[in-house]
Chains A and B, each alone.
Chain A
């Protein structure tokens, strides 16, 4: 497994793990009304924690590999994977727009956007890891 493929796995695991932690703590805090649950600090800590975990994870993976080469295949997989994942960023923006038109509680708007960011990361991870394992599509 190349360095870039390992980075992809680190990012995918962090994206999934971070959101699982967020949901676990959020539901642990929740009372009868989920939308009234304090979430801003939790979301900020989760996002910040994911960034720090990504840096630390990347450094650990980098330290365990002798070959740090990145080639045209890595760049192509990264580019296509990001393109696939970014589709959910658009979905997140649109969902925030529609929810704000409907004057839905800001809790749901923020969580919809956050969920789409997470899905973007997960979808990008799936696309990249699939291309690393099964090859690049030729369409």
Chain B
């Protein structure tokens, strides 16, 4: 059974609020495939720290505004 990541993100909302950037455009700007952007948005893949910073930089916001981790999420 695949355990889903507890990291959530607001990439979809950020894409919409930044001129409706498409998944393909975002993928091109951070150097990954569109499928990887989709997987990150859906919580099926936790990006590397470097990739997470690149995504945040595209939107010009701090990392915390893009990715969230629930309090008490040690388990």
Residue numbers of B with Cβ under 8 A of A are 2-6, 31-36, 39, 42-48, 51
Of the four ranges (under 10, 10 to 19, 20 to 34, 35 or more), the interface on chain A belongs to 20 to 34
Q: Is the CB of A134 within 8 A of B32?
A: no
Taking CB atoms, residues of chain B closer than 8 Å to A72 are 32, 36, 47-48, 51
B45: which of A70, A135, A139 is its contact (CB, 8 Å)?
A: A135
Identify the interface centre among A1, A69, A137: most chain B CB within 10 Å of its CB: A69
Query: Which partner residue on chain B sits nearest A134 by CB separation?
Result: B2
Knowing A134-B44, A135-B44, A138-B46, say if A69 contacts B4 (CB, 8 Å): no
B2: which of A2, A67, A73, A137 is its contact (CB, 8 Å)?
A: A137
Q: Once the chains are docked, how many angstroms separate the CA of A138 from the CA of B46? A: 8
Q: Is the CB of B33 within 8 A of A74?
A: yes
Q: What are 30 sample pairs from A and B whose C-beta atoms fall under 8 A apart?
A: A1-B35, A3-B33, A67-B34, A69-B31, A69-B33, A70-B33, A71-B32, A71-B33, A71-B36, A72-B32, A72-B47, A72-B48, A72-B51, A73-B33, A73-B35, A73-B36, A74-B33, A132-B35, A134-B2, A134-B44, A135-B5, A135-B39, A135-B44, A135-B45, A136-B2, A136-B45, A137-B2, A138-B3, A138-B4, A138-B6
Q: Is the CB of A139 within 8 A of B33?
A: no
Taking CB atoms, residues of chain A closer than 8 Å to B34 are 2, 67
